[in-house]
């Protein structure tokens, strides 16, 4: 159990598990937007606060600036110029601004001399600062120094009484940004708490969702394991997702195929046992009945022993055919391809089968359209031809005929066996290649059929990547056509 948990943990941490990936994706998808929002909103809030503050201060400074000019603060106008506001009032205004914004205001005249400093430190000194010079040239500057907690700005003092506006002086102001920093600290703390809560919430949600979403896959595994362990034999069903349905469908198809294979294997074993038992039972009956008879005549012994010998032959034939079939179905077995003269092979096979044909009074003719040379497995090819011609003779009528035709095009050769025999009923045509299938069991047994010949033939044809077809009319005859590629590429 501990080992299994450890394995699962390892899978989770190495991100090999779907659950871990789900978890991570959901976590990232939940956290990234909240982090971006947090810093984005706080950042723009701070920027706007600073800008507002600068605008407020600038407004007030502009008013003071106009008072300065009308009051001839810089003494640039002739004596007796209208002084609407006294110098003390202006100084008080400046003091008020610097108190209000916790800052310092310096008034600098056109010779860069400080004529007023609300701190009283720099009055009378000359200031050579880039910002001040730039302001005299008409460029307003404002700087926010977050680290030291102040905002610095320059405000021009413009005399608009003359025809053209003249910058008579500059106000260099620095105000505290502590209030903004304090608000930012509070907001940042609140956003932090909210962010952490969201992180915990997202993690919990990601955890729950990753478990819930991957559950159907676990159910598939469980169902497959149950079938594997043999607890269940049912087709499995996990209809949650299209993906699990596909996996399950594929698995069920595999299961069906395995069951079909298993059933066919069982049937085959049953058939084999039955076929092998039949001659044995006959032998047993024959032997028992001989033993039961006291002083049985020698002729009877002879007759029964002949029957026993023929049953043994039959048993032998079944075993030989079975071995041929098993060999044929071993996929790994290679074809031993050689280039052969097919006409010669057909002639040889017909020569071997002619005695059987004579015995049944069946005429065998061979019609070859052209000489055919093909790359095939000679032993398997003679099995194919022998089985088809032998069947055509065996299932024929008296005085019947068998016609063997051989033709070829540039790709295939065609071997066709037609007969004037019993024919095959339409409903049996689909079954004749099955192992142990016989149209008329007793007749087939009589003439020594095992029901394996056509199964072997079809296997051998398929191994050559060929095709076999049959047409038949019951009572009139049958025609088997085999088409084999001239150059054989063995089937896998």
Residues that bind ligand ADP (CB under 6 A): 387, 391-392, 395, 419, 421-424, 432, 437-440, 444, 449-455, 478
- Which of 458, 383, 376, 385 is closest to 416 using CA atoms? 385
> Given the complex with ligand ADP, which of 348 and 473 has the nearer CB atom?
473
Q: What is the three-class DSSP state of 109?
A: strand
> Given the complex with ligand ADP, which of 156 and 421 has the nearer CB atom?
421
Beta strands in 440-486 (DSSP E): 467-473, 477-485
Question: Alpha-carbon distance 431 to 429, whole Å?
Answer: 5
> Given the complex with ligand ADP, which of 12 and 366 has the nearer CB atom?
366
DSSP string of 293-337?
STT--HHHHHHHHHHHHHHHHHHHHHHHHHHHHHHHH-TTPPP-E
| Least distance to ligand ADP, CB of residue 429, Å | 9
Number of C-beta neighbours around residue 325 at 10 A: 18
Question: Alpha-carbon distance 316 to 450, whole Å?
Answer: 10
| Least distance to ligand ADP, CB of residue 442, Å | 11
| Least distance to ligand ADP, CB of residue 428, Å | 7
| Least distance to ligand ADP, CB of residue 231, Å | 41
Contact (Cβ atoms closer than 8 angstroms) between residue 390 and residue 453:
yes
> Given the complex with ligand ADP, which of 216 and 453 has the nearer CB atom?
453
Question: Alpha-carbon distance 477 to 134, whole Å?
Answer: 116
Question: Alpha-carbon distance 322 to 272, whole Å?
Answer: 8
Report the chain's terminal Cα–Cα distance, integer Å.
44
> Given the complex with ligand ADP, which of 202 and 428 has the nearer CB atom?
428
Query: Per residue, what are the HEC states of 354-413?
Result: HHHHHHHCCEEEEEECCCCEEEEEHHHHHHHHHHHHHHHHHCCCCCCEEEEEEEECCCEE
| Least distance to ligand ADP, CB of residue 476, Å | 10
| Least distance to ligand ADP, CB of residue 452, Å | 6
Phi, then psi, of 160 in degrees rounded to 5: -100, 5
Phi, then psi, of 154 in degrees rounded to 5: -120, 140
Contact (Cβ atoms closer than 8 angstroms) between residue 166 and residue 159:
yes
- What is the number of alpha carbons within 13 Å of residue 271 lying toward its C-beta? 17
> Given the complex with ligand ADP, which of 135 and 482 has the nearer CB atom?
482
The pair of three-digit structure tokens given for residue 241, joined into one six-digit string = 């997702």
| Least distance to ligand ADP, CB of residue 421, Å | 5
> Given the complex with ligand ADP, which of 180 and 389 has the nearer CB atom?
389
Q: How many residues does the chain have?
A: 492
> Given the complex with ligand ADP, which of 45 and 437 has the nearer CB atom?
437
Contact (Cβ atoms closer than 8 angstroms) between residue 431 and residue 454:
no
How far does Cα 97 stand from its chain's mean position?
A: 71
- Which of 238, 266, 263 is closest to 250 using CA atoms? 238
Q: Which residues pair with 469 in a beta bridge?
A: 481
Alpha helices, H only, 71-148 = 87-100, 130-136
Closest-approach residue to ligand ADP (CB): 449
Triad 402, 404, 405: Cα angle to 5°: 145
Phi, then psi, of 171 in degrees rounded to 5: -100, 120
> Given the complex with ligand ADP, which of 20 and 424 has the nearer CB atom?
424
> Given the complex with ligand ADP, which of 224 and 364 has the nearer CB atom?
364
| Least distance to ligand ADP, CB of residue 365, Å | 15
| Least distance to ligand ADP, CB of residue 453, Å | 3
Contact (Cβ atoms closer than 8 angstroms) between residue 27 and residue 208:
no
> Given the complex with ligand ADP, which of 318 and 345 has the nearer CB atom?
318
> Given the complex with ligand ADP, which of 185 and 264 has the nearer CB atom?
264
| Least distance to ligand ADP, CB of residue 451, Å | 4
| Least distance to ligand ADP, CB of residue 418, Å | 9
| Least distance to ligand ADP, CB of residue 327, Å | 16
């Amino acid at each position: 159990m501990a080992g299994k948990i450890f394995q699962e943990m390892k899978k989770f941490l190495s991100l090999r598990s779907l659950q871990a990936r789900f978890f991570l994706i959901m976590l990232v998808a939940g956290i990234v937007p909240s982090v971006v929002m947090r810093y984005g909103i706080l950042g723009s809030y701070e920027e706007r606060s600073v800008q507002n503050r600068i605008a407020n201060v600038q407004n007030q400074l502009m008013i003071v600036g106009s008072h300065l000019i009308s009051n001839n603060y810089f003494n640039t106008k002739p004596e007796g110029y209208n002084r609407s506001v006294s110098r003390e009032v202006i100084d008080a205004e400046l003091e008020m601004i610097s108190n209000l914004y916790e800052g310092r205001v310096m008034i600098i005249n056109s010779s860069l001399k400080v004529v007023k400093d609300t701190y009283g430190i720099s009055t009378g000194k000359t200031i050579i600062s880039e910002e001040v010079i730039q302001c005299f040239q008409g460029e307003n500057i404002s700087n926010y120094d977050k680290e030291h907690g102040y905002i610095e700005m320059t405000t021009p003092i413009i005399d608009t009484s003359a025809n053209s506006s003249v910058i008579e002086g500059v106000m260099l102001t620095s105000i505290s940004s502590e209030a903004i920093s304090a608000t930012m600290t509070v907001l940042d703390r609140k956003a932090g708490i909210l962010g952490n809560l969201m992180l915990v919430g997202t993690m919990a949600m990601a955890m729950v969702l990753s478990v819930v979403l991957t559950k159907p896959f676990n159910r598939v595994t469980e169902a497959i394991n149950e079938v594997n362990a043999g607890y269940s034999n049912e087709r499995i069903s996990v209809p949650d997702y299209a993906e699990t349905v596909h996996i399950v469908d594929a698995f069920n198809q595999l299961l069906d195929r395995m069951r079909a294979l298993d059933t066919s294997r069982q049937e085959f074993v049953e058939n084999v046992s039955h076929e092998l038992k039949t001659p044995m039972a006959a032998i047993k009956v024959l032997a028992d009945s001989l033993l039961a008879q006291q002083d049985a005549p020698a002729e009877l012994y002879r007759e029964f022993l002949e029957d026993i010998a023929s049953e043994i032959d039959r048993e032998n034939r079944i075993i030989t055919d079975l071995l041929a079939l098993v060999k044929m179905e071993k996929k790994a077995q290679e074809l031993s391809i050689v280039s052969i003269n097919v006409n010669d092979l057909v002639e040889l096979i017909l020569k071997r089968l002619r005695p059987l044909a004579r015995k049944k009074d069946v005429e065998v003719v061979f019609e070859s359209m052209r000489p055919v040379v093909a790359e095939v497995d000679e032993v398997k090819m003679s099995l194919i031809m022998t089985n088809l011609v032998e069947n055509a003779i065996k299932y024929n009528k008296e005085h019947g005929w068998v016609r063997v035709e051989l033709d070829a095009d540039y790709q295939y050769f065609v071997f066709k066996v037609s007969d004037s025999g019993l024919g095959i009923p339409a409903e049996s045509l689909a079954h004749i290649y099955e192992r142990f299938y016989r149209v008329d069991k007793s007749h087939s047994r009589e003439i020594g059929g095992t029901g394996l010949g056509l199964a072997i033939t079809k296997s051998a044809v398929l191994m050559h990547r060929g095709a076999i077809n049959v047409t038949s009319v019951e009572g009139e005859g049958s025609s088997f056509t085999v088409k084999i590629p001239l150059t054989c590429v063995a089937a896998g």
